[in-house]
Each structure stands twice: as C-alpha cells, then as structure tokens.
Structure 1
Amino acid sequence: MSFTGFARNCGFLCVLGAATLTGLPAATAAVPESDEPIRLTLNDWTGQNVSTRLMGSVLEEMGYEVEYVQADYMAQFTGLKSGDLHVAMEIWETTAKDLMEEAVAGGRVLDMGETGMRAVEDWWYPKYMEERCPGLPDWKALKDCADVFATPSTQPNGRYLGGAVTWDGHAEERIEALDLPFEVVHSGTEAALMAEIQSAYQRKAPILAWLWTPHWAPQQFEGEWVEFPEYGDGCYEDPSWGVNPEATHDCGNPRGWIKKAAWAGGKDVWPAAYTAIRNFRINNDEMGRMIGAIDVDGRPLQTVVDEWMADNEDTWQSWIPAN
C-alpha cells in the first residue's frame, strides 16, 4: 500500500506508530499537518481550472481538505498576500510577471516554481489571412490592411478581438505606441472568444484575435502570431526603448514561464502540500488535449481531470514528497 493510502486508512495514530518504529520524528510523518482547508484559486479560463483541479485532486489524495475559490486573475495577489487565498496554479509571465515579482519581493507570496508549460499569448490570425493581408506575420503589414479586419462598428479601423479585460494584454497601449489603425473589442469570456474564432475559421472570415498556448485552438487551427518587435526589459516602462521613442509598450508580449504562487505562511501550515505543489509538472500538449476535451468535446471538466489522474498515477505520485 502507498503511503497515501496508508495514512488515509490508518489515521494519525497509525502514522505516529510507524514513525516511532522507524526512528523518525512523528511530526515528519503526520500528513495532513493541519485540518485547515487549502484554498486554491479558480480564474476565468479552462486551462487554469484544469491545473487547479489536478493539483486539488492530488492534495485530496494526500488527505488535505481543499476549497476552490473563484478569483480575479490580477486581484488574486491581494488575497495571496493576506492569506485569504493560498495557492494560484497559473501565473503567466506574459501578463503578470511584474505582479508576481512585486508580491514575491514583499515576502508574503512564494514563487512555487514553473508548471512545465511554456506561455505564448498574443495577437493571432488564421493562416488564410496572409493572402488578404500580404506581409503578415510582420506587424507593419497591419498598417496597410486594417480595412480587411474592419467591422461595421470599427470602420475604417480594423477590429482586434481581445480577451477578458482582466487579462490585460496591453492591446490599447500597443495600438497607440505602434500607431496601428485598430480598435480593441473585448470578448468578455474565454467561451465567447473561442466561439468567435471557431466561427470565423470555419467560414474563412477575417479575424485578428487574442490567443494563447497551452490551448486546444492553436493545435486545431492553422495560424500564426503577429510578429511584433520582440519584448525586452524596459518596453513597458521606458519610452526610449524600442521603435517609438515617445511611448512604452511598442513591443510584443513576453513569452516564457507559467508559474505557481502561494501564500508564504502556508509553508509552515502544510509543508508536504507545498512540496507537492512545487513538484507539479505538466506540458503544453497534455494541457491542450484536456482543454479540447472540455471546450470542444463538451466533456465535464472534473471527468477529464479524473481520467488524467487515473492514467497518470505514476506522474502525480512522484509529486508527493517521500515520508
């Protein structure tokens, strides 16, 4: 029997006895260390919910009480600092690097390491649009073919379909800095954004939209990200950086890590849980397939999570610290 099953079936006294027989301090064997629930945040996109439910399922296997709390992606850092929230499973370098670094520097939030997924989120278009807007994926092509992407509400400007406002992709600042004849229309939700991208793709209609990976859509739809000037330190803060010496945000989004973050006080309350969270790893392809099973195939999220847990027991068991 695994330690997980042993602890759950025998209870604290049995674990205490096992620790005594092996000469280990009893405190190192008592998992869960507290009956206080660990509060994991749920943000407003499917992939983050999958990551969170996967980690929550592992913590439950370890014997912890888990609570899921709906939280705004950016505002959740306030709760992580105060301890009202405990764990956020997906902090993307592309959109929240500064918030993450500020929170960690203050000492109240821990950087819990990378998830194993690599983030790209930026302006995306279907491959067939390169015939209608020659010069793509170079961003400068958008200056000459904005009318191709125009809608009745944005004419003569093109429409850029952004994500939810809370995701903060700096689209308005970028449009101004690069003098692009586009207007931002926010989709409001991931479901609305994906529905419009899918509809346009099926009809081969013009669309320029916010998209990201890991996700099912870049796996299913042939397309490209617009090639903006490469992000670098200073792009968001220093007007003298980049192609427009009078404006910030004259670059694409950064690309890189997706990390976990946690309330610093939790390391003393649930040390084994925090080790498991640090050990969490999954890749873009695995995540994209699960998101597709939920958003495209219509399968319940928890069912998809449960199947992954059943099919990958060796993987998630390796996240659990040895006693």
Structure 2
Amino acid sequence: MRFNVLAATALVGATMAGAAFAEVESQEPIKLTLHDWSGQLLTTTIMGKVLSEAGYNVEYVQADYIAQFAGLKSGDLHVAMEIWETTGREAMDEAVATGNVVNMGETGMTAIEEWWYPAYMEETCPGLPDWKALNDCAREFSTPETAPMGRYLGGPVTWGGFDEERVEALEMDFEVVHAGTDAALFAELESAYQRKAPIVLWIYAPHWAPAKYEGSFVEFPPYTAECYDDPAWGSNPDMAYDCGKPTGPIWKVAWSGVAEKWPGAAKAVEAFDINNEDMGAMVADVDLNGKSVDEVADAWLAGNKDVWSAWIAD
C-alpha cells in the first residue's frame, strides 16, 4: 500500500444550490474526493449535491483511491465516500489508527471484487470456478503478449487489491495486466464477450456487469485476516495473500476535524445510505445509457427527496 503520493487536485465547484435546511457552521469548502469509477462519482456527487442544498460550500477533488489517505490525515481533504472493504480496509484502518481520520459508517452498499470469467470459458476450462482449474488452464487465457502465461486483466493499478501478490503466493501461471481506466476494463470485457474470446478479469459489485454478462467469480481459498497478515497461514508458508479477497461493506471516511468544523455536514455524511440495487441501476444509466453523472444523480435526488432530506434535517 502506498500513502505518500497524492494525485492531482483539480477542483470542481458544486452544481446544485438551494435554500439551506439549517444555518451552516462554516462557508469554508468541504472537499470531497473523486476517483475513477462511475459508482464512486455518483455516490460523491449525490452527497455533494445534498450538502450544497443544505447551504454548504462543496468542492470536488480528484484523488488517488489509496493515496488520498495522506490528504485526509492532514486535513487537506475532508470526505471520501467509498472505501471498499475488499481493497481499502488496510489503508482505512491505518489512517483511523492515527486519530486523524474517522470511519463515518457504512454507505449501505455491500462490496465484492474478485476475478471473474464468462460462462462460455467453462467449456474450455473444466473445473471452473475453482482457482486450481483456472491455473491448469492458464494457457487458454494467454495473449500474444503474455503467452505461455495466462493474462489476468486487473483494474487500474491505483485500486490496489494485491493481485500480483496473490498470483505469486499461489504460484499461478498468470501475468497481471492492469486496465488503464474503469471504462477500458469493461470495454475489453464487452469485446471479448461478443467474440467469446478468453478473458478473466476484475469484476466488482455493485455494478451492472454481473447482471448483464453470464459468468462466475473464481473461487479462491476463503479470505481471512490471517491470510493477509501471516505468511504462515494458508498453502504457501512463506507468503501472504494466498487466498481470495474479502467481501463486506463500502465505508465512508472523513478527516477528524469535519465534525468540529461542519457538524451538520458530518451528520449528513454519517446518515448517507444507498443500496446495491439503486447504485447498480445508476451506474448502468451512466455506463450503458450514456447519461452524465450529474443527470443521473439529479434523477435519484428528485425521486428520493424524503430520503436525503432526512440526512440534513435538524
């Protein structure tokens, strides 16, 4: 995990303003972080619009998913709306342990992020979804660039996830190749699926892909905390990460000073709650139906005013 590099900090002003529900405590900007996948952009935009409606001054800051914790600990960044149990828990726990970052609770969404393959690959590779069968079929997943090794298409490198460590610990005949962006990851899946071409890649939920495409997650040895922390655990006595990824909540975190400077905003962030079904539908509207993040967020806000109004009520 890397904590020392903060990505670009381009600021984008909030687009929604309205009558405040209560007098705000400070007009200093609350800086919400933006990352590089549609669901997180939606979550953050919805939260930002709600805070703007309450009268707060909101700024959006483009930041690296893991490296953002440096800014959250220093107070240069204020709120991060999606920390996935699957890939961000270690970074979150380290930051919270400093006392400078606070866990603001669950978003209401449950995360899974794991290797995934299309159903048609089961004819080529009998024994799937077991990871050992996948490894036996590594050559069937190779590309000219990786042959004779299989290719695993991972998410952008900034997402973390320990895929290289897992491949090494489980002695898999695969090379990890990272997609440059979230959009590139799913564009490659679409292309492979239409051609019934070999592919195994990072898929996550909540997202539209597991519903649109028939396939399965690879079944690795079940995750335990010891798998990540204790090399002696698991099949490889010399290396950690010889298991699958964890599953669990998607969390919200904030700089510890938020509750003191903007107590009303802190309560709103804590109250934020959206389920997997709603988020999956919104991501599909952006990624598949060509709508903008603002357009989709505004539609959700219009249809759920009773929900979000309660987040900022006195």
TM-score (norm 1): 0.90
Does structure 1 residue 211 correspond to structure 2 residue 203?
yes
What is the match of residue 46 of structure 1?
38
Does structure 1 residue 201 correspond to structure 2 residue 196?
no
2:39 partner amino acid: G
1:43 partner amino acid: H
Distance in 2, matches of 1:121 and 1:6, equals 39
Q: Is the CA contact 1:31–1:272 (under 8 Å) kept in the aligned structure 2?
A: no
Structure 1 residue 218: deviation in Å?
A: 1.0
Structure 1 residue 246: deviation in Å?
A: 1.8
Give SS of 2:240's match. Answer: coil
Q: Deviations over 1:266-309 (max 9, x none)?
A: 11111011001000000111111111111111111100100110
Distance in 2, matches of 1:204 and 1:284, equals 28
Q: Which of the numbers 263, 270, 273 marks the counterpart of 2:265?
A: 273
**Structure 1 gap ranges (5+):** 9-29
Percent identity reads 61
What is the match of residue 230 of structure 1?
222
Structure 1 pair 6–298 and aligned structure 2 pair: CA distance change class (3 A) = closer
What is the match of residue 282 of structure 2?
290
What is the match of residue 19 of structure 1?
none
Alignment of structure 1 residues 93-172 onto 2, 5 Å: 93-172=85-164
1:144 partner amino acid: D
Structure 1 residue 40: deviation in Å?
A: 0.2
Structure 1 residue 235: deviation in Å?
A: 1.0
Give SS of 1:278's match. Answer: helix
Give SS of 2:145's match. Answer: coil
2:185 partner amino acid: L
Structure 1 residue 143: deviation in Å?
A: 2.1
TM-score (norm 2): 0.92
Q: Deviations over 1:101-148 (max 9, x none)?
A: 111111100100000000000101111111111001110101211111
Structure 1 residue 7: deviation in Å?
A: 4.2
Give the helix-richer structure, 1 or 2: 1
Does structure 1 residue 254 correspond to structure 2 residue 257?
no
2:206 partner amino acid: P
Q: Which of the numbers 184, 200, 223 marks the counterpart of 2:176?
A: 184
1:118 partner amino acid: T
Alignment of structure 1 residues 239-250 onto 2, 5 Å: 239-250=231-242
Q: Is the CA contact 1:115–1:282 (under 8 Å) kept in the aligned structure 2?
A: yes
Q: Is the CA contact 1:219–1:288 (under 8 Å) kept in the aligned structure 2?
A: no
Give SS of 1:40's match. Answer: strand
Distance in 1, matches of 2:18 and 2:67, equals 37
Structure 1 residue 54: deviation in Å?
A: 0.4
Q: Deviations over 1:51-92 (max 9, x none)?
A: 000000100110111000000001100100111000000001
What is the match of residue 66 of structure 1?
58
Structure 1 residue 31: deviation in Å?
A: 2.2
1:50 partner amino acid: L
Distance in 2, matches of 1:305 and 1:166, equals 25
Distance in 2, matches of 1:62 and 1:6, equals 7
Structure 1 residue 247: deviation in Å?
A: 1.4
RMSD: 1.3
Does structure 1 residue 32 correspond to structure 2 residue 20?
no
Give SS of 1:250's match. Answer: coil
What is the match of residue 304 of structure 2?
312
Structure 1 pair 220–70 and aligned structure 2 pair: CA distance change class (3 A) = same
Structure 1 residue 6: deviation in Å?
A: 6.4
Question: Could you list the runs of 4 or more consecutive aligned residues of structure 1 that deviate by over 3 angstroms after TM superposition?
Answer: 4-8
Structure 1 residue 43: deviation in Å?
A: 0.7
Give SS of 1:201's match. Answer: helix
